[in-house]
Amino acid sequence: MDLGTKRLGGIITQLVLLLFCSYGTTGEEVCDSPLVSNLPPSSFRSSSQLSNSHGPGFAKLNRREGAGGWSPLNSDRYQWLEVDLGGRTQVTAVATQGRYGSSDWLTAYLLMFSDTGHNWKQYRQEDSIGSFPGNSNADSVVQYKLQQPVVARYLRLVPLEWNPSGRIGLRLETYGCPHISDVASFDGSSSLLYRWSPRPRQTTRETISLKFKTLRNSGILLHAEGQREHSLTLELERGKLLLLLRQGRSLSSETQRLVSLGSLLDDQHWHHVAVEQLSTHLNLTVDRSTQQVHIPAELSHWDFDQLSVGTVQVHDSQRPVLSKRNFYGCLENLLYNDLNLIDLVKHNNHQVTVMGNVTFSCAEQVSVAVTFSGSQSFLQLPGATASSSGGMSLGLQFRTWNKAGLLLTFDLPQQGGMVWLYLSEARLRLQIHKAGRALLELSAGSSLNDGQWHSVELGSRRGRLTITVDKEEGASAHASPSFPVTTGSHLFFGGCPAEEGSQECRNPFNVFQGCMRLLTLDNKLVDLIMVQQRLLGNYSHLQIDMCGIIDRCSPSHCEHGGRCSQSWRTFHCNCSNSGYSGDTCHTSVYEASCEAYKHRGNTSGLYYIDVDGSGPIKPQLIYCNMTEEKTWMVIQHNNTGLTRVRPSPGGNQYSAHFDYSSEEEQLLAIISQSEHCEQELSYHCRKSRLLNTPEGSPFSWWVGGPGPGRVQTYWGGALPGSQQCACGLQDNCLDPKHYCNCDADRMEWANDSGLLTHKEVLPVRSLVLGDIQRPGSEGAYRVGPLRCHGDKNFWNAAFFDKETSYLHFPTFHGELSADISFLFKTTAASGVFLENLGIKDFIRIELSSSTEVLFSFDVGNGPLEVRVEASAPLDDNRWHRVRAERNVKEASLRVDELPAATQEAPSDGHIHLQLNSQLFIGGTASRQKGFRGCIRSLQLNGVTLDLEERARITPGVRPGCPGHCSSYGSLCQNQGRCEERSNGFSCDCSLSAYTGAFCHREVSASFKPGTSVSYTFREPYELSRNSSALPSSIYSDVTLRGENISLSFRTSQSPALLLYASSYYREYLALLINKHDKLEVRYKLDNSRDVEVLRSRVRNLANGQLHTLTVRRLADTVSVQMDQSAREDFNLTSDGEFNGIKSLVLGRAHESDELDPELSRLASLGFTGCLSAVHFNTISPLKAALLHPDTSPVIITGPLVQSNCGSSDPANPYSAENTHHLSDQSGSVGSGQPLVNSIRSDSALIGGVIAVVIFATVSVLAIIARYLYRRKETYQSQDVKGVKPEDSPEFPFNSQADSQNVPRENPKEYFI
């Protein structure tokens, strides 16, 4: 059939389609008409046919002509059936059927499409699934509706699998409707220019849309300009589409890239593009991907009046700018809103100027590519015939993602060697080998695995060998071998045949995976269609006339800023510095709150907090204060200090704005998930009113709450809306007529301070103070950091008491990424934690046995299971943590700190998890295999499910779950006792010598020679009060048969008394360092016998280092342990009872008259150094003296200063709990005014001079004061119950910024 007849048939086919296209009842076109049944036999082609009666023209659905369908000569994967639809058609569905009356049918196939009959493209579902399910017999019809319709003229079906008892057999039908479009073709020098006069009426949504196809990877599609000094450009660059904003009229003006989208767009296939403007942002759509970008304010009104297509034409210029960046290819259906711009050109509209040769059909250049997809792929071609010059020339173009692979190899017939042209580390290399030795090596180019087309030329002429990459834009390398380089009888591209022992082709490198095209031998183009028809050369496992490269990084599946890289088969995510982990950077490596860090055993410090886990909110660095029973999150802002109010010139008000260290989204999430939040708000005033009265207009106000916040007219400590201060609520203001102290308007300094505790009005965002301009008015304000405690999500739990009980929630949406984390505890050996079902898909996590957790799911590729086996039972009624994740690359499961188990996902499988039922927690839809126990802190993709709220209304499920000490009790250290709380636990340190959240912080004190701490076990009684009773009965409750003593010390004094315990019967126990720097333990348990001295062998105890001592006695057996030295055991000769114990003394002992002379002299010297963590049986005398001096039976004499001297590293600069924030007290002040930040000074120069003078003066005074203090200390002792400086009338107010986080220090050292 001639070409004219084929064209006529195509026209008739399109007319028939137009007649058959029906419309639905809603008036919308129904695009589902049969497309194949009315086609002539000439519209069918195939790779081969078994006989004339098995030809492709018989492959029509439900037809029985011929042999009842198409069957090829051979049944293999190189066969295909092609249909010419007569013109570009929209295809919406495909149906297949086996060959009538036979055992021949397909079970799986590929669908290809093309506009030209060349350059085929594979249709993919979900961007990954390439194959379609086929038939199970010869007669039934299997129809598949395409998720995205295809617009093409040619369709090709490639059989993948068929009935193993038969052969390939096929009848088919496709459904759709004609595609109507306006097309324009550009040749790189042609362009269109649209000038609107008048400009079309502007709408709330402005849209430009089009389709394009091109073989070149760069070119300008659109350029829009207006009267303002800015323009938008839509440009193709290296196969990606860029949206650029240019400031200014000239081409050299600064250009800003707004967004980049798409990849491999130079594949000579149609791609849809749309730019949509919506007030504050633009949407760029490329094919099925859309990205939103916020635009500058000047672009909020779309005022473009000129649009150039295919080039850049500057406003008011008469000629376009010709450059290599001009577009070369075709555009289709170029629409501005509903205006068809190509149709305007066709009708010679006066608003359109055509420049160059613009045609209205798509003249396409035919380029046949070949895809090397696997390890067995190769292409064999005959070598070039010998030329008269003795030289040779080879050329090709390739594109790949792999860094390594063989491009070409051939033998050297005259030398007996091999030539390899290959990629290594993304560079092109040439190697010539002979007898295992490299005769020549060359390399050129770099980064050749970027997915772009790269040209390679290998030439040998007149003894000079050259390899060139990318011609003039690339690089080349030369050599002059001593032997001629000519091709052998065969050339092998991409790899070698699988036959072993082949001497013609050997490949010591990786096989090539990618695409090649434009193969030339001696400047003659190789006809790859002849290769496909087996008329030239040989091949295996190739896809000819198509490039099957896929960009797996566009769009990127790497989340949270992870960087995507790829190979031919897969992609990789680099998650470094992102704060996330996993194959797609989905799972956060940080905890969601300070509470969670605390229950990992952490102490106070700065931590990264990720409040929504795998959600979009970024981690932020936040200070966690764990020194109290409550765990506080402290969020600072730019001014937490007490700040002097400086009225601005010409203004009657002072305003301050507060910027927080956390981002807005995280700030609101922290407030939402916390049980309690607070923020200090205070104002110090002198003749400066604050709020006036509730009936009058307030002088001052503040703004707080989410977003921009709302104006608040109450002060810290009062109730919202009251327009009062704390004193008004407590009815104790200075002036009863007012509700704030400052509203009394007095000349003396006063203040209104308190906490803001209503979460809905936090944080404080700005502050306005109004009464500051009057003569004599002074003021200072402080807005403290935002402090929150309690994590509602961390302790949110439910208890399931029956297998049939469950909670249900809305469907879980985790189509591409799903992470699930929770804690559980149970005594049952099995049960389902979570289940969600779809039509075929599902996801489930269960305890499959007492030692195994199972994570299973199905996304359409068949069920996949991931298991973790624990070495110990999981039904031990202790909390265990489960973390499961499923993404497009793999599934993983982790239990507690056990190694994670993983399963890879199929590289070309379904990727979307499609669920539609309710989410069941603690059970299943069938009410079988339910879970019995507790589930806590359940998060799905970073969102915490409120189990407690749902449990309150669900029978068989109880909110909350007690019993945390079984899991977290080990966090209580140093004899601390775990106590249960409704939400969590706490450590009781009353019987421990330590303090802190986990009884982990040593209580230490610095001792001077006159320091003494005496702990009285029982007040003395006069024996005459009970003369009939024996002394032993009076003191029987303080008679000891053993002691358990532990303490740490640091000293340079020798000898020195560490501890002394005495009784009412002149018995005693003493721990001391003798003059030889060794430990002595002295016992006198019988006043009629001499003291027993136990001497340790450990030396150098007065070396200024920290030492830890443990002494244990049981009856007459004593053991001594010093640091890590071996334990020393001793025996006493006395009866082993310490009768009537009276007191225990640390430091200087004042009862020296009861001691022997040597010990009395030693006791009078006292102790100079550090004592820490002193524990005597259940008594902690040092802790009682420092922390509870008013309620404990202790007497303190001389200076006693709490410090961290008992730390093994007292100067540790990274110890977060010992970091002191003194910035709030850095200012110098006058009499009667509050301390403020010195950075508020008016003049830095004057301040610097004054600072130098003050520093010199204070330094001299400090030296004198210290000298006088030491002189005074030598002659005078004083009782010290606490270290608290008295408030001076000269300094009525102190800045207490972050005082909750700052441990107390020695005030003498502090003020000096």
Length reported for the chain: 1312
Are 549 and 514 spatial neighbours (Cβ–Cβ below 8 Å)? Answer: yes
Instruction: Name the more confident of 387 and 789.
Output: 789
Please write the tens of the pLDDT for every residue from 1255-1310. Answer: 555 555 655 554 444 433 333 333 333 333 333 333 344 433 333 333 333 332 22
CA distances in angstroms from 523 to 383, 457, 473, listed in the order given: 13, 10, 20
pLDDT at 295 over 80: no
pLDDT at 1064 over 70: yes
pLDDT band at 53, cuts 50/70/90?
very high
Whole-angstrom Cα distance, residue 408 to residue 411?
A: 11
Average pLDDT, the chain: 83
Whole-angstrom Cα distance, residue 594 to residue 623?
A: 8
Across 763-774, average pLDDT: 91
Whole-angstrom Cα distance, residue 284 to residue 209?
A: 10
Instruction: Name the more confident of 15 and 970.
Output: 970
Q: Is 18 helix (H, G, I), strand (E, B) or coil?
A: helix
Whole-angstrom Cα distance, residue 1132 to residue 1138?
A: 12
pLDDT at 705 over 80: yes
Neighbours of 394 (CB within 10 A): 25
pLDDT at 16 over 50: no
Across 705-729, average pLDDT: 92
Q: Which pLDDT value is given to residue 692?
A: 81
Q: Which pLDDT value is given to residue 1262?
A: 54
Whole-angstrom Cα distance, residue 368 to residue 215?
A: 12
Are 321 and 313 spatial neighbours (Cβ–Cβ below 8 Å)? Answer: yes
The two tokens of residue 20 are 């058959």
Please write the tens of the pLDDT for every residue from 327-339. Answer: 999 999 999 888 8
Please write the tens of the pLDDT for every residue from 450-470. Answer: 999 999 999 988 888 999 999
Q: Which pLDDT value is given to residue 748?
A: 92
Q: Which pLDDT value is given to residue 481?
A: 84
Q: Which pLDDT value is given to residue 317?
A: 58
In this structure, of 120-129, 532-541, 1101-1110, the range with the lowest mean pLDDT score is 120-129
Across 10-29, average pLDDT: 45
Burial of 5 (0-12, 13-18, 19+ CB in 10 A): exposed
pLDDT at 1252 over 50: no
The two tokens of residue 1212 are 């540790």
pLDDT band at 1151, cuts 50/70/90?
low
Across 804-831, average pLDDT: 92
pLDDT band at 149, cuts 50/70/90?
very high
Instruction: Name the more confident of 1069 and 695.
Output: 1069
In this structure, of 194-203, 210-219, 900-909, 1258-1267, the range with the lowest mean pLDDT score is 1258-1267
Across 1130-1134, average pLDDT: 88
Q: Which pLDDT value is given to residue 1029?
A: 36
Looking at this protein, which amino acid is placed at residue 657? H
Please write the tens of the pLDDT for every residue from 1091-1109. Answer: 889 999 999 999 999 999 9
The string of DSSP codes covering 52-74 is GGG-GGG-BTT--STTSSB--SS
Please write the tens of the pLDDT for every residue from 827-886. Answer: 999 999 999 999 889 999 999 999 999 999 998 888 999 999 999 999 999 999 999 999
Give the rounded percent of residues in the chain with a pLDDT score beyond 70.
84
pLDDT at 1160 over 70: yes
Whole-angstrom Cα distance, residue 533 to residue 1037?
A: 107
pLDDT at 1079 over 70: yes
Please write the tens of the pLDDT for every residue from 543-573. Answer: 999 999 999 898 899 999 999 999 998 899 9
Beta carbons within 8 Å of 1128's beta carbon, 6+ residues apart: 1096, 1097, 1119, 1120, 1121
Q: How, if at all, do strands 842-849 and 352-355 pair?
A: unpaired
Please provide residue 532's backbone torsions phi and psi, each rounded to the nearest 5 degrees: -60, -35
Neighbours of 468 (CB within 10 A): 20
Across 1065-1085, average pLDDT: 90
pLDDT band at 774, cuts 50/70/90?
confident
Q: How far does Cα 619 stand from its chain's mean position?
A: 7
The string of DSSP codes covering 334-394 is EEETTEEHHHHHHTT-TTEEEES--BSS--PPP--EEEE-STT-EEEEEPPPPPTTS-EEE
Q: Which pLDDT value is given to residue 1135?
A: 76
pLDDT band at 18, cuts 50/70/90?
very low
The CA-CA-CA angle for residues 218, 219, 224, to 5°, reads 140
Q: Which pLDDT value is given to residue 918?
A: 93
Bridge partner list, 1082: 1070, 1093
Neighbours of 377 (CB within 10 A): 21
Whole-angstrom Cα distance, residue 854 to residue 893?
A: 8
Q: How, if at all, do strands 852-858 and 864-869 pair?
A: antiparallel
Which CB contacts under 8 angstroms, 24+ apart, belong to 420-427? 420/507, 420/508, 420/509, 421/456, 421/458, 421/467, 422/509, 422/512, 423/448, 423/449, 423/512, 424/509
Please write the tens of the pLDDT for every residue from 919-931. Answer: 999 988 877 788 9
Are 36 and 174 spatial neighbours (Cβ–Cβ below 8 Å)? Answer: yes
pLDDT band at 195, cuts 50/70/90?
confident
The DSSP symbol for 129 reads: B
Instruction: Name the more confident of 317 and 415.
Output: 415
Whole-angstrom Cα distance, residue 374 to residue 396?
A: 20
Across 103-114, average pLDDT: 94
Q: Which pLDDT value is given to residue 387?
A: 58
Q: Which pLDDT value is given to residue 499?
A: 74
pLDDT at 1159 over 70: yes
pLDDT band at 101, cuts 50/70/90?
very high
Q: Which pLDDT value is given to residue 1304?
A: 33
Q: Which pLDDT value is given to residue 650?
A: 66
Neighbours of 1282 (CB within 10 A): 12
Q: Is 187 helix (H, G, I), strand (E, B) or coil?
A: strand
Tokens 């008013």 label which residue?
1190
Torsion of CA 257, 263, 266, 269, to 10 degrees: -120
